[in-house]
């Protein structure tokens, strides 16, 4: 029996996507992919393709990812249509309304609860360095790694109590000698995506067609009328 929609989402934004589903009162069958797959885009692509291949009984598969390490490039579905956001990554998903996002990317390290919980997160890398090299050398090593950054920016998406994470984030900014900044994000783009009320920021990939880099670029930004489900 053909089912309607499957949502496959990066575990890195599980809190934010869960809030989007709550706000819209939408509940699709959902697969939460391990956030650790971000550390290996080739493995992420392989695992995503496996999930797509295993769920061809759906009409549509929504991919809750941006162009993360180009892991989505080359993915295809034999029978189900794929839909994805034209977003560079989950930072852009949460800060899509921030006008100067592009200009501050090179000097800003972004964090959320999801990014702080991972096994390869900044917090875990710091603790690993302390255990291996001791506190002083660990701070020196981390300082060298982050010398080109100016700010540690925590995104407040409204998906959880920020106060539970601020202390840790502020401590990391002090270790790295970075300005600590909290910026307001939102889940409006995720709400738009799962509600199917799409504009040019969503692209639909027909069965048998591979996702390409162009699907994330301005070349496809004029096709908004074709990206709506009646």
- Domain extents for the chain? 3-91+187-226, 98-184
pLDDT at residue 228, as a whole number: 40
Say whether pLDDT at 220 is over 60.
no
Question: Cα separation of 69 and 117, whole Å?
Answer: 20
Q: Tell me if 73 sits within 8 A of 212, measured CB to CB.
A: yes
pLDDT at residue 48, as a whole number: 98
Q: Could you tell me the pLDDT band of residue 152, with boundaries at 50, 70 and 90?
A: very high
Quick: pLDDT tens for 82-141: 999 999 899 999 999 888 888 898 899 999 998 888 777 777 888 888 888 898 888 888
DSSP-based three-state secondary structure for 229? coil
Q: Could you tell me the pLDDT band of residue 219, with boundaries at 50, 70 and 90?
A: very low
Q: How far is CA 8 from CA 17, 35, 62, 154, 182, in A?
A: 11, 12, 6, 25, 29
Say whether pLDDT at 229 is over 80.
no
Q: How many CB atoms lie within 10 A of CB 174?
A: 12
Q: Alpha helix locations (H) across 9-56?
A: 14-24, 41-54
Distance of CA 58 to the CA centre of its chain: 23
Say whether pLDDT at 3 is over 80.
no
Q: Which of 215, 205, 221 is nearest to 83 (CA)?
A: 205
């Amino acid at each position: 029996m053909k089912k309607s929609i499957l949502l496959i989402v990066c575990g890195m934004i599980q809190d934010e996507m869960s809030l989007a589903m709550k706000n819209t009162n939408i509940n699709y069958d959902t697969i939460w992919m391990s956030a650790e797959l971000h550390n290996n885009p080739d493995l992420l692509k392989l695992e995503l393709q496996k999930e797509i291949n295993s769920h061809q009984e759906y009409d549509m598969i929504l991919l809750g990812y941006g162009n993360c390490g180009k892991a989505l490039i080359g993915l295809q579905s034999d029978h189900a249509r794929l839909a994805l956001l034209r977003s560079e990554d989950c930072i852009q998903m949460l800060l899509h309304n921030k006008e100067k996002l592009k200009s501050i990317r090179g000097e800003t390290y972004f964090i959320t609860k999801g990014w702080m919980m991972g096994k390869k997160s900044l917090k875990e890398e710091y603790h690993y360095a302390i255990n291996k090299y001791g506190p002083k050398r660990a701070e020196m090593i981390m300082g060298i790694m982050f010398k080109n950054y100016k700010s540690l920016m925590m995104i407040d998406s409204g998906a959880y109590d920020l106060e539970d994470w601020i202390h840790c984030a502020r401590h990391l900014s002090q270790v790295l000698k970075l300005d600590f900044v909290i910026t307001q994000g939102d889940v409006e783009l995720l709400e738009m995506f799962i509600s199917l009320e799409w504009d040019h920021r969503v692209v639909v990939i027909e069965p048998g067609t591979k996702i390409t880099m162009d699907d994330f670029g301005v070349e496809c930004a004029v096709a908004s009328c074709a990206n709506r489900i009646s």
